[in-house]
Amino acid sequence: MAISEIHESLIYSVYFAPRGKRRILTLGHQIAQRYLSPMDSLIGFVGDAGAGKSVLIKGMFPGLELTNDDDGVNIRPLPLLNDADETFFSCHTYHLDVRFESAFTQMHVLADAVLQALQNEKRVIIEHFDLLYPVLKINADMLIGIGEEVFIARPTIFGPSPVEISKKVFDSVVYRRMAHSAEDITGKLLRDEFGFDKIKEYSDVRRGFVLEFSEKPEIDLYELERKVLEIIKQDVEISYCDDHSIIIDNETYKCTGPRIHVKSTSEIKEYHLVKECKYNPLTKVYSLIGTVGKSQPTAIEDFNKLSE
């Protein structure tokens, strides 16, 4: 099937929003290969701070210099605004973080600069596109929302609108934060309390997490669940340490996605462990499955059911 045919028939696609820089970069690359057209001029991203928008953009557009670097380096003056003032657009692709720039520049000025760039056949990538959309008054060629899941849409006159995508991702990102925090607490206890530090890979399930092992963990999963629930009840603080670790109750713990967490363990609701490590004969791994925030179906094959 040709790329143009995929674009014409696409309403939207949904992926798990992975945790960890490497996995988000990989997903960004896959999205660009599958859905991005060379003719796309306006690309909008929607999602909460720390959800992974910037990393996803880096995966989709390698080498693009972002104006809001994760290390806190913000490019001034903003290239898009500067070139709009000079009426000469020197770049092919521009990046704009609306939430950050709106603190310094009025929305209509940002919208005018975007429109000028589009009229000059340039590409503009906009984070927090939902904030600029009411003033810009045109939808994106490609719209991407990041919450618990990643939504990819190519809007038409029938939608979806940035407001609709925004509601989906902001309502669901809380589950992603809960799941990641629960995942790290579970992994930390496996190491510290059960002496099992052999996690091979991390995977995803709706409203939960998956820890994968090459060998079956011979541990009491009821006891593991009880210990995690104890930490949740204690309202232990979780905070960002650096790009590779977090702090749980004043102890540093290695983490692949340190910005995607709740602030304290009491925010994790309805934590539950599946009391059997499931074996996948295709990948030859054992999976320890945990869920949060909402009771899951009894059968694990229904966890990601399409009817939800």
* In-domain check, residue 168: no
HSE, CB side, 13 Å, CA atoms: give it for residue 97.
23
Last residue of a domain, one of 129, 160, 191: 160
Q: What is the pLDDT of residue 308?
A: 46
pLDDT at 151: 95
Q: Are residues 240 and 284 in the same domain?
A: yes
Residue 190: inside a domain: yes
* Statement to judge: residues 185 and 121 lie in one domain: no
Please check whether residue 31 lies inside any domain of the structure. yes
- 304: closest CA among 13, 12, 15? 15
Task: Note whether 215 and 269 are same-domain residues.
Answer: yes
* For helices 107-119 and 129-136, angle between their N-to-C axes, nearest 10 degrees: 80
Q: Is residue 165 part of a domain?
A: no
- Final residue before a domain boundary, out of 160, 182, 208: 160
pLDDT score for 306:
57
Q: What is the CATH number of the domain that holds 183?
A: 3.30.980.10
Assess whether 74 and 142 both reside in one domain: yes
Asked whether residue 155 is domain-assigned, the answer is yes
In this structure, the answer to whether residues 86 and 194 fall within a common structural domain is no
pLDDT (0 to 100) of residue 61: 96
Average pLDDT over residues 214-238: 94
Considering the domain boundaries, does residue 167 fall inside one? no
Residues 103 and 224 in one domain: no
Do 138 and 197 have their domain in common? no
Q: What percent of the chain has pLDDT over 70?
A: 93
Q: How confident is the model at residue 169 (pLDDT cuts 50, 70, 90)?
A: very high
Number of domains in the chain: 2
Q: Are 18 and 154 members of one domain? A: yes
Which of 133, 160, 187 delimits the end of a domain?
A: 160
- Flag whether 307 is in a domain: no
Both 19 and 82 in a single domain?
A: yes
Task: Specify the pTM.
Answer: 0.86
46 CB contacts (<8 Å, ≥6 apart)? 128, 129, 130, 143, 144, 145, 146, 162, 165, 166, 169
96 and 19 part of one domain:
yes
> For residue 180, is it within any domain?
yes
Could you tell me the CA-to-CA distances from 53 to 17, 60, 190 in Å, in that order?
10, 11, 31
Are 240 and 100 contained in the same domain? Answer: no
- Give me the mean pLDDT over the 145-168 stretch: 92
pLDDT, tens digit (0-9, with 9 covering 90-100), for 102-125: 989 999 999 999 999 999 999 999
User: Mean pLDDT, the chain, as a whole number?
Assistant: 89
Cβ proximity of 184 and 168 under 8 Å = no
The residue range of the domain holding 282 is 173-302
Q: What is the pLDDT of residue 21?
A: 85
Let me know whether 198 and 233 are in one domain.
yes
* Phi, psi of 216, deg, nearest 5: -70, 125
Does residue 5 register a pLDDT over 60? no
What integer pLDDT is reported at residue 68 of this predicted model?
A: 73
Q: Looking at the DSSP assignment, which residues form a beta bridge with residue 151?
A: 14, 145
Answer yes or no: is pLDDT of 293 > 50: yes
